[in-house]
Chains A and B, each alone.
Chain A
Amino acid sequence: MSELQPAYRQSELSELVEHDRVHRSIYTDPEIFDLEMARIWGKTWIYVGHESQVANPGDYYTTTVASQPVIMSRDHDGQLHVLFNRCAHKGAQLVGDECGNLKEFRCCYHAWRFAMDGRCVSIPLEEGYADAGFTKDDPAASVRKVPRVGSYKGFVFASLSEEGPDLETWLGGVASSIDNMVDRAPEGELEVVPGVMRYEHDSNWKFFVENLNDMMHPMIVHQSSSLTARVVAKRELGKDAPLPPALEIISPFTQSYAFFDDMGLHAFDNGHGYSGGKNSIHAAYSDVEAYNEAMNEAYGEERVKQIFAVNRHNTVFYPSLTIKGAIQTIRVVKPVAVDKTIIESFTLRLKGAPDELLKRSILYCNLINSSANLVGPDDQEAYLRQQEGLKTQGNDWIPLSRDINSDEELEPGHYYAKGSSDLAFRNQLKAWKQYMLAED
């Protein structure tokens, strides 16, 4: 694709997403994918990692932003940086492994050295560049930082664009989902624990992101796991026996339409949104007494009631991050190709909470986010079949029209609808269209 001759003219792009339907090509056309990488992923705020992953001076963590390798590092003065993972010299990736701790970066190719903030420290035989007037102090000798970095309560985002709203403005109404996850820690801080799961989906990234707040699918797609869990529990443990934590996690996925309707959907600017609010499928987990005590001691009973009254299911920070505050897991979206996406799952520790809370989050991750889990492969089967089915000329359009006239504006820019509404899809694709049509 050349910038001079884009595969799609603006008017053609504009026609792919209408208020009540979306054209299949946005999920199947590799040229659309390239445009998404440039205009959405290459412009807006993309989740990089959590500050706790680089807690100490000299720590680094490598990942990607818009498919471009980056390093999140903490320098020896404690400052956080996000650098392009590219040696300033011949472009070799500066860091090859996922994480570690260093005094400074040293390129494996010609041993140029850089401080943790990317500043060039030394070049072998630097005097060889004397005639060219080039020294290690030349800005071009340093590793480039990504244009913009922002951190909201430890969640680090980067933007490859110099311009755009600041992070907090961009987060808008979904910042409160991060607030609630942080508030659930008696010490008011979260920590990513070791152990990331990378799960390859042979399908478009938008299927995954859209599915998170698709409240019409769980009771259908998850019958084989969730209904089975209920049957096995009844048979093995007795009809009214309390469920062990693992089955408490799997069983609610096949709640009724009425339950998911009641959870509700909330939508905000920039494609963000969440399902659940006062209630979700994570609301009925057994109490952990020591945790409640630690929370009451830290915040006082009234405040703790307010914190626990917020029980959201999935919050989408469109397009790159999805979090489950009530069970302290996050999933990070890494598009690879039009039909390939890697979903990374991380588990977070609530600082000051008893170990049982982390163990429950880990159990959740095993059961729901692992590539060998009982629940997710049936979601993925649906995306795979969409990826295949939308190749056909059976119908170019997918409807977005369920409850199209029932959105309620709770406050400016904050929309609400019952769970079965298509609100989340309409809202995400509205943002998709805005990003894709924005002029440079």
Chain B
Amino acid sequence: MALPDTLLFQHQVEQFVYAEVRLLDERRWEAWEALFAEEGTYWAPAAHDQPNPEEHVSLIYENALLRKVRQQRFKHPNAFSLQPFPRTSHLVSNVMIDQEATDTSPLVVSARFIMHEFRRGQPNSYAGAYRYELVTNDGGFLIQQKKATLVNCNGTLTSSAMYF
């Protein structure tokens, strides 16, 4: 018996989110980049009530061009702070559809994440909320914005380079 459409849709959304963070953990940057819509942005705010990425500082706010710089830097032989290259493990849960897409607004999905990182011989742990704005594309999804808000985004943080 076929699943009801809503369950199937929830499943598709979850699979998309899992696949997205898996690409980060597997360092498949080109494939990850292909998940973004042309104007898609990645945003890690520096405050919980941050109204937008333009009028307030952010930990990361990147369009396609800046993401290319970051990903290209990953491969640079003189990126000393990335030697050895950090390993990450993203765990995503609580995936919920907050808002269905309309003609003028994207599908909004929220989730919670934990990212463990092993960098410079030290384990680090990051946790927070994801908010995805997704547009449909050939039966799949493209990211208009991925927002990763750390629970301690406004706290004191050490160096990091990976996408949360």
Cα of A223 to Cα of B61 in the assembled complex, Å? 21
Selected contact of B159 from candidates A220, A236, A377, CB within 8 Å = A377
- Say yes or no for A224: interface residue by CB 8 A criterion: yes
> A204-254: which have CB < 8 Å to B?
220-221, 223-225, 227-229, 231-233, 236-237, 244, 246-247, 250
Q: Which of B30-38, B64-72, B127-135 contacts A (4 or more CB under 8 A)?
A: B64-72
Size bracket, chain A contacts? 35 or more
Task: Tell whether B60 is near chain A: CB-to-CB under 8 Å.
Answer: yes
Q: Which candidate, B12-20, B47-55, B139-147, is the interface stretch facing chain A? A: B47-55
Contact assessment for B73 and A224 in the assembled complex, using a CB-CB cutoff below 8 Å: yes
Kindly state whether residue B91 has any CB partner on chain A within 8 Å.
no
Number of A-B contacts (CB under 8 A): 114
Say whether, besides A224-B79, A365-B57, A370-B59, A198 and B155 are in contact (CB < 8 Å): yes
Cβ-based interface call for B157 (8 A): yes
Whether A371 touches B69, Cβ cut-off 8 Å, given contacts A195-B46, A380-B81, is no
Judge whether B60 and A199 touch: CB under 8 Å: no
Nearest CB to that of A98 among chain B residues? Answer: B154
Among A35-43, A306-314, A318-326, A354-362, the stretch in contact with B? A354-362
- CB of B127 to closest CB in A, whole Å: 15
Measured in the bound complex, the distance between the Cα atoms of B157 and A131 in whole Å is: 51
Report the separation of the CA atoms of residues A232 and B33 in the bound assembly, to the nearest whole angstrom.
15
Given known contacts A228-B76, A232-B68, A250-B69, is B54 in contact with A366 (CB within 8 Å)?
A: no
Per-residue contact bits, chain B 60-94, to A (CB 8 Å; 1 contact, 0 not): 11000110111011001011111000000000000
Given contacts A236-B65, A362-B57, A366-B60, contact A228 B73 (CB under 8 A): yes
How many chain B residues touch the partner (CB < 8 A)? Answer: 33
- List A contacts of B72 (CB < 8 A): 228, 231-232
Shortest beta-carbon distance, B98 to chain A, in Å?
A: 25
Minimum Cβ distance to chain A for residue B72 (Å): 5
| Chain A minimum-CB-distance residue to B161 | A377
The reply to whether A370 and B161 form a contact with Cβ atoms under 8 Å apart is no
With contacts A225-B73, A374-B70, A378-B80 known, is A195 near B159, CB below 8 A? no
How far apart are the CA atoms of A265 and B120 in the complex, in Å? 34
A370 touching B58 in the complex, CB below 8 Å, given contacts A195-B47, A378-B79: yes
Chief secondary structure at chain A's binding surface? helix
- Distance in angstroms between the alpha carbons of A372 and B162 in the assembled complex: 8
Set B50, B69, B80: member contacting A374, Cβ < 8 A:
B69
Partner of A372 from the list B59, B65, B69 (CB cut-off 8 Å) is B59
* Chain A contacts with B in 314-360, Cβ cutoff 8 A: 342, 345, 347, 355, 358-359
| B44 lies within 8 A of chain A by Cβ | yes
In contact, A200 and B157 (Cβ under 8 angstroms): yes
* B56 contacts A193, C-beta separation under 8 Å: yes
Sampled A-B contacts (27; CB under 8 Å): A193-B56, A194-B47, A194-B56, A195-B56, A197-B59, A224-B78, A224-B80, A225-B79, A227-B76, A229-B69, A232-B69, A236-B65, A246-B66, A247-B69, A342-B156, A355-B55, A359-B55, A362-B56, A362-B58, A371-B158, A371-B160, A372-B157, A372-B159, A374-B70, A376-B159, A377-B82, A380-B81
Give me 12 other A-B pairs in contact (C-beta within 8 A), A225-B69, A359-B55 excluded: A193-B56, A200-B156, A224-B80, A225-B73, A228-B72, A228-B76, A232-B65, A232-B69, A362-B57, A366-B59, A376-B159, A384-B120
